[in-house]
Amino acid sequence: MLYGHWRSSSSHRVRIALALKGRAYTYAAVDLRAGEQAREAHGARSPTGYVPCLVLDGAAYVESVAIVELIEERFPSPPLFPRDAHARARVRAIVEIVNSGVQPLHNLSVLRFQSPDAAEQKAWAAHFIQRGLGALERTMEVNAREGIRGPFAYGDQPTAADVFLVPQGHAAARFGVGLSPFPRVAAAFETASRLEAFRLAAPELQPDAPPRENP
C-alpha cells in the first residue's frame, strides 16, 4: 500500500521507483490541501505526517530516499544505483541535491510559513528551484567530464538520479520555472519522461488528481 498525494514530488519519486521495478501496489490518497496528513490515522503510519508512506509486509516506511533504497534492496533488478562505488556516490549526489537542497524549500508547509501571499510563495519557490537546477546542471557537467554523458541523468540507463530529477522537473513547471537554461537537466528529463514507468507515475494520471479540462 502506498499512501501519497498526486502532486507530491516525494510521492512521485516512489511511484517511479515501483514502476521501474515492475512492482504493483495499491494506492491510497492523502489529501494534503485538506490537511489529511495531520490527522491521527495518517500520523499512526507516518510520524512526520508526510507522504509518501509505503506499507510493505505489514511495516510502514517513510521518507522517499529511505523508501527508494528499500525498494532497491528488496527488488534489486533492474538496479537504480550503479555497482561501482564512485558512480553510486555520483548518483546519490544528484538524489540529495533534489531531496535536501531543492524540494524542501517549496514544500507546502514551508511556503505557507514563508508567506500567506500566493505570489510571494511562487517567487520564493522559483528562486530556490532555479538555484537547485543550476547545481544539478553543474553536477552533470562534472559527470560529463568524467565520461558520463547521458542520455539519462547519469549514464545510459535510468537510475535513482532520474527518479528524483523528473519529479523536480514537474515541480519546476508548476512554479513557472523552465528547464531550457539547464540543457543537461532538460535532456535527461525529456529522455526519462518518455519511458513507460515515468509516464505511468506522472502526477496528472494519479487517481486523486483533479480531472483535466477538455481543450
Return the number of other C-beta atoms located less than 10 Å from residue 201's C-beta.
Answer: 24
Encode pLDDT of 119-166 as tens digits.
999 999 999 999 999 999 999 999 999 999 889 999 999 999 999 999
Mean pLDDT over residues 107-124, rounded? Answer: 94
Distance CA 112, CA 33 (A): 11
At residue 188, does pLDDT exceed 50? yes
Could you list the residue range(s) of the whole structural domain that residue 21 is in? 2-77
- pTM surpassing 0.75? yes
In this structure, the answer to whether residues 60 and 92 fall within a common structural domain is no
**Separation between Cα atoms, residue 100 and residue 97, nearest integer Å:** 6
Q: Please give the pLDDT value at position 213.
A: 46
The mean predicted confidence, pLDDT, of the chain is: 94
Task: Look at the chain and report how many structural domains it folds into.
Answer: 2
pLDDT value for 214: 39
Q: Is 176 exposed, middle or buried (0-12, 13-18, 19+ CB in 10 A)?
A: exposed
User: What does the pLDDT read at residue 34?
Assistant: 66
Here the CATH number for the domain that contains residue 67 is 3.40.30.10
Structure confidence by residue, pLDDT tens digits, 14-43:
999 999 999 999 999 998 776 667 677 767
Confidence at residue 38, expressed as pLDDT on a 0 to 100 scale: 67
Q: Where are the beta strands (DSSP E) in 12-165?
A: 27-29, 53-56, 59-62
Give yes or no: residues 126 and 188 share one domain: yes
* Distance between CA atoms of residues 117 and 170, nearest Å: 22
In a domain, 210, yes or no: no
Question: Contact, 161 vs 153, CB < 8 A?
Answer: yes
